[in-house]
Amino acid sequence: MNTLHFTTKGIKSSSLAMGILCLGIASCTQIPAFAQTSLSGELRMNGKQVEAAFEAQRAILQQSSAVIYQARRSIGYGVIMSPDGYILTKRSELFELDAKTKKSTLKENLNVIINAQRFATVTLLASDVEWDLAILKVDTENLTPITWADSTEIEQGTWVVTNGSTTKKRRRVNAGIISAHAREIKGDIPVMLGVGLKDKEDGSGVEILQVVKDSGAETAGILKGDIIKKFDSVDVAKREQIIDIIREKQPGDFVEVEFLRKDKILKQKMELKPRKEIQGDAKQPQNRNDQMSGDYSERRNSFPMALQHDIDQIPRQTGGPLLNLAGKAVGINIARANRAESFAIPAKEAQQIFQEMLKTIPQ
């Protein structure tokens, strides 16, 4: 049987099926046209022969990634960061909206499977909303941490492998390519001020047109008709100035607002709440691409830096390592954006954020 070789440049993921099909055949030109478009299950992207081609990477995912469960349902993957049980994962999949309090709360009954071992007690140690990353901890001493890739420059067309579906004892793989260079992924502001704003025509400030129920503005006593003069110690005359400031904030941050009410200048501290707490659990209206994509991650944008790849994941397959063919992690999967795009926080940034979060954990 001929040996299957994978190159790392300029290859489309659809070529994988044809590469597998050529196993044991002297020339791909011998394959009739109908066979090229009608592969048996063994030869498809999720077939056993394809999975066997990535056995080395699968074995690394088996021992150096975690499957995170809520009770018996898997909700995501994680990256093993240390022998003593530190796990880096996607933050937003760990939380859900409480219907009564409208607060994002940690999901109950979390447990983790690493390799084939289940850990019934899982502790959330730290999280970072901006990057959508969190650190979990399980009680153990003998795990195998992931090995991170040295280079942060990854060429388009480079093969990558990540967790696919899983059983209680065995990881499976998905394969694809890097489809775009690392870049900022812009999107919705993660926090919500909870007011409607309008510039004053005379440039004297920004007028409050409405105050949203349950927002930080309502809690702070802001009223319709108030005119914001300063926001977070910055003189403001345009609503865009306020929006630019809150883009840099995270849920739970407080800003000082100086505003004019009738003939008095007042000051109040206002909490910036997560958009989800105020708007509820509804997703944004779907565009045509979304409608064709199936399910996608609830948080799928607003990342300071992310790699793009073409692996077709489902949301609960995010959070785990993205491997190159050498078995080293080039990033941590952070979102399925649509049918053609999945995102991963690059290795360099993921390690930096992990170290920064560690500093916030009480000793």
pLDDT band for position 8 (cuts 50, 70, 90): very low
pLDDT at 292: 56
pLDDT at 339: 82
Domain spans of the chain, in order of start = 1-53, 62-186+287-358, 191-279
pLDDT band for position 338 (cuts 50, 70, 90): confident
pLDDT digits (tens, 9 = 90+) for 124-162: 999 988 899 999 999 999 999 999 999 778 999 999 999
Question: Of the ranges 22-36, 43-57, 177-191, 225-239, which is most confident?
Answer: 225-239
The set of residues, in sequence order, having a beta carbon less than 8 Å from that of 98 and lying 6+ positions away, is 104, 105
- Give the least confident one: 11-15, 102-106, 323-327: 11-15
At position 152, the amino acid (one-letter code) is T
Average pLDDT, whole number, for the chain?
84
pLDDT at 35: 54
The residue that leads in pLDDT, 14 or 219, is: 219
Tell me the CATH architecture of domain 191-279. Answer: Roll (2.30)
Q: Mean per-residue pLDDT for 292-308?
A: 83
Count the Cβ atoms, other than its own, within 10 Å of residue 322. Answer: 31
Whole-model pTM over 0.85: no
The residue that leads in pLDDT, 243 or 103, is: 243
The set of residues, in sequence order, having a beta carbon less than 8 Å from that of 317 and lying 6+ positions away, is 76, 77, 162, 163, 164, 165, 174, 333, 336
pLDDT band for position 186 (cuts 50, 70, 90): confident
Q: Mean per-residue pLDDT for 283-308?
A: 73
Q: Which of 184, 139, 136 is nearest to 304 (CA)?
A: 184
Tell me which of 3.40.50.1980, 3.40.50.720, 3.40.50.300, 2.40.10.120 is the CATH number of domain 62-186+287-358: 2.40.10.120
pLDDT at 107: 93
pLDDT beyond 90 at 7:
no
pLDDT digits (tens, 9 = 90+) for 28-44: 445 555 555 567 766 66
At position 13, the amino acid (one-letter code) is S
**Residues 173, 55 contacting (CB under 8 angstroms):** no
Q: Give percent helix, percent strand, percent coil of the chain, each to the nearest 5.
A: 20, 35, 45
Q: Which of 228, 223, 214 is nearest to 271 (CA)?
A: 214
pLDDT beyond 80 at 22:
no
pLDDT beyond 80 at 261:
yes
Question: Of the ranges 19-28, 164-173, 185-194, 329-338, which is most confident?
Answer: 329-338
- Give the least confident one: 33-42, 187-196, 325-334: 33-42
pLDDT band for position 62 (cuts 50, 70, 90): very high
Q: Mean per-residue pLDDT for 243-271?
A: 90
- Give the least confident one: 14-28, 35-49, 221-235: 14-28
CATH topology identical between 62-186+287-358 and 191-279: no
Q: Alpha carbon of 206 to those of 88, 209, 258, 360: distances in Å?
A: 41, 9, 11, 36
